[in-house]
């Protein structure tokens, strides 16, 4: 039995434009990422809000120890 495969080429700038036009609000996005961490059996979730002096921008970093997407 033949298996059809499909190749996907990724364009990060195109993906960013797509996601910037989604109806998510910042709080919804953060809640969704944390919910995904719980779904991936995370026991630790670290949310940090900081300021990058080099770029003069605020950032949000969310890390977890869940079993989500593999490094490969």
The radius of gyration of the chain from alpha carbons, rounded to an integer in Å, stands at: 16
Quick: pLDDT tens for 9-65: 766 677 777 777 878 788 988 999 999 999 999 999 999 999 999 989 999 999 999
Q: How confident is the model at residue 2 (pLDDT cuts 50, 70, 90)?
A: low
Give the pTM: 0.60
**C-alpha span between 62 and 36 (Å, rounded):** 11
- pLDDT of 61: 93
């Amino acid at each position: 039995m033949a298996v059809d495969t499909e190749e996907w080429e990724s364009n990060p700038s195109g993906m960013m434009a797509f996601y910037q036009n989604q109806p998510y609000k910042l709080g919804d996005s953060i809640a969704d990422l944390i919910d995904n961490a719980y779904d991936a059996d995370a026991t630790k979730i670290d949310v940090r809000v900081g300021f990058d002096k080099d770029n003069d921008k605020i950032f949000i970093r969310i890390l977890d120890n869940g079993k989500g997407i593999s490094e490969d």
